[in-house]
Amino acid sequence: MITNFSTKKVYLAKGMESVDYTDATRHLLDAMHRYDIEWEFLPHTSSPLHIWARDYMPVQIDKEKFVRFSYHPDYLKGSPEYKPNTSAILSDLGIQVIESDIIIDGGNVISCGDKVIMTDKIIRENRQYNRNRLIDTLSQLLEAEIVLIPEDVYEEYGHADGMVRYVGENCVLLNNYYDFDKTLRKKLLSALNPHFNIAELHYDAYTDKSWAYINFLHVGQHIFVPRLEDKLGETAFRQITDAYPKCECHQIWDCDSIVGEGGALNCSTWNILSDSAG
């Protein structure tokens, strides 16, 4: 399965140009231009409610294979205005997909090559499947082993991309649960240890936005880390840089407005392996 290390092109919702997100978007686009990363706005996404491109866009398996899961998360019940016309987007982009009725947001899919990490929220959101059939079906669709981790019950969306990220060479990076939730940390280590080597963030401090730092955009050999107006920014950036010695890490300023809406740079982008990118 495609990992972030193989991706070359980044898409953002057009709604990222809205006044609330202008500064963060400008900083990100300037940085991607500086490092010759191709980017493009998604069509049919002009609403500022459509900024969470990661969640509604399909999951890329290989250069030509994409799987579109059902974008009907529990937290959007009664809120159709957050859902763009994904069929029209894909048609305009010329991307064909394999359709699945399984409810999964893209932010809950952490590709690790031959393994995929997801939170166990997928079990309760897909009661039309028994657990074993669900895991088997996902494994076949994604062509990878499914590794389930417990969801953070204090996080509204149940996504994995604010909890753990793939470092490469069978290693993952875990958020700073050591600083604020040792019970969940123990459960996460138990779930991940049979499959991966684990590095951990550890700040000796906690804010309610500390998850946002690990929700960075990783495209190819570049990592774009949100910079927030709190005391953890430099510590988080230094530790993420240390965790990815083969990548260039860059801070993107003024991300507080995006993070205040519940996501960060991974949530608000969609990066793929594309022939159009150099």
Give per-residue pLDDT as tens, 158-214. Answer: 999 999 999 999 999 999 999 999 999 999 999 999 999 999 999 998 899 999 999
Give pTM, 2 decimals: 0.97
Q: How many domains does the structure of the chain reveal?
A: 1
DSSP summary character for residue 215: S
Structural domain boundaries, residue 248: 4-271
Q: Is 45 exposed, middle or buried (0-12, 13-18, 19+ CB in 10 A)?
A: buried
pLDDT grade, residue 19 (50/70/90)?
confident
For residues 11 and 60, the answer to whether their CB atoms sit within 8 Å is no
CA–CA separation, 248 vs 97, rounded Å?
A: 32
CA–CA separation, 78 vs 20, rounded Å?
A: 24
Residue 278 belongs to some domain of the structure? no
Residue 221 belongs to some domain of the structure? yes
**242 residue type, one letter:** D
pLDDT grade, residue 277 (50/70/90)?
low
Tell me the average pLDDT across 99-127. Answer: 98
Residue 276 belongs to some domain of the structure? no
Q: Identify which of 117, 98, 93, 96 has the alpha carbon closest to the alpha carbon of residue 106.
A: 117
In tens, the pLDDT along 42-70 reads: 999 999 999 999 999 999 999 999 999 99
CATH of residue 240's domain is 3.75.10.10
